[in-house]
Amino acid sequence: MGGGDPYVPESGDASFDVDGYDLTLDYTVRTNRLEGRAVITATAVAALSAFSLDLVGLRATRVRVDGERRTAFRQGPRKLRITPARPIAAGEAFSIEVTYGGAPAPRRSRWGTIGWEELEDGALVASQPTGAPTWFPCNDRPDARAQMRLSVTTDAGYTAVPTGRPVSSVAARGRTTVVAESRVPVATYLAAVHVGRYRESWLAADPRVRVFAPPALAADAARGFARVPEMMALFESAFGPYPQEDCALVVTPDELEIPLEAQGLAVFGANHLAFEQQRLIAHELSHQWFGNSVGIGRWQDIWLNEGFACFAEWLWSERSGGHTVAQKAARHHARLHALPHDLVIADPGPDLMFDDRVYKRGALTLYALRCAVGADTFAQIVHAWVAENRHSLASTDDFRACVARVAGEGAAAVLTPWLDAAPLPPLPAPRR
Ligand SMILES: [Zn+2]
């Protein structure tokens, strides 16, 4: 059975849901060798005589369904096809255990190379949207969120930073094992592990925020993240309480093309700490509300993640004494006006789902709504949206419904020309 998301038709298997991933990983940095064991608890959606997990570039050596040794499996370049010894009934819970390993590497995709990536001295994970199978076997669907436990063992001198609330860190025989758990449901693309010669510190002004940086970059990281507590306070007042169990910010010694968020975690390159890059920090932090807590179940709704994250950048700009939200909106509207108007952001298509126009027009959509309903009602909408969809999946139509409920059908209609048609509507004027 296919995955069901038309943007990534080769990913995932819609015939079962995952309740939890329990991953035990052992990573040797020097040789880039990953040994893993995944215990996946799942529930059949349909009667199953066979099913598949996504796994790319790593070899499965042992597979058991419900502990049964007569489990058959066959591995192709992208899929691990599993035939349990006996069929599984619809609604039945079952477990899958996969022992696997190899030299993890990013996979090529139409969005570039994604997944597990070796650094100069360590590794990172940047999976969005389909990179997760480069480091663990999974049902790689955006709507298949699951609880997660990650145990990562790595070499002495290195620190592993997995997604989740840290549970333990134990050193033995020259290696260190870090365990982290997510009780909130995590999408496969939002699971991550970063490995490097990192030292942990905390932001004094907001000790919820843990920072992992190479000692040589510790001072730069402290400066770069100095205003994160203010961002946190701004976003908590604009969107609602910080929704994640953890907030860890990692700085790699390498320069990275773009920073990237994961569940309760974000990774930045050494090049992202400069003052002019603050907007990127605000962007990634805001994804903890939009994308990671309020999740999307299908990729076509990506504007909900990226539009809000861009709008959050504008809020931070205004708060920190930069351009106001209105100035940002005018500037980006002018830029979009000069670009082709051939994109419908409520369904941009897989090739353009990460196009910058989705991001900026998404933010302009929210700005148009705020202009139409006023700042107070807009704040009510955003708070309701975040609270009602906390750690669950929501769609563009859910957003329209939320707007209609809080501010009326007329307010929801404001969204239509921005979301559902390609021509760029005129720049709205703020309501007085
Ligand atoms: Zn983003």
CA of 92 to the centre of ligand 1 (A): 37
What's the pLDDT at 432?
A: 62
What's the pLDDT at 10?
A: 94
What's the pLDDT at 430?
A: 77
Name the percent of the chain in helix, strand, coil, to the closest 5: 30, 35, 35
Residues of the chain with CATH 2.60.40.1730: 1-105+127-184
CA of 363 to the centre of ligand 1 (A): 12
CA of 22 to the centre of ligand 1 (A): 27
CA of 412 to the centre of ligand 1 (A): 24
The predicted model scores a pTM of 0.97
Per the rule left: phi > 0, alpha: psi between -120 and 50, beta: everything else, 178 is beta
Residues of the chain with CATH 1.10.390.10: 294-420
Domain spanning 1-105+127-184: CATH 2.60.40.1730: yes
CA 193 centroid distance within chain: 13
Q: Could you identify the residue written with the tokens 């830029």?
A: 335
What's the pLDDT at 1?
A: 60
User: Which value, to the nearest 10 degrees, does the dihedral of the CA atoms of residues 17, 19, 22, 27 take?
Assistant: 50
What's the pLDDT at 2?
A: 72
- With a cut of 50, list the residues of the chain below it in pLDDT: none
CA of 300 to the centre of ligand 1 (A): 14
What's the pLDDT at 33?
A: 98
Task: State the chain's mean pLDDT as an integer.
Answer: 96
CATH number for the domain running over 294-420: 1.10.390.10
CA of 287 to the centre of ligand 1 (A): 7
CA distances from 176 to 26, 27, 154, 169 (A): 10, 10, 6, 7
What's the pLDDT at 258?
A: 93
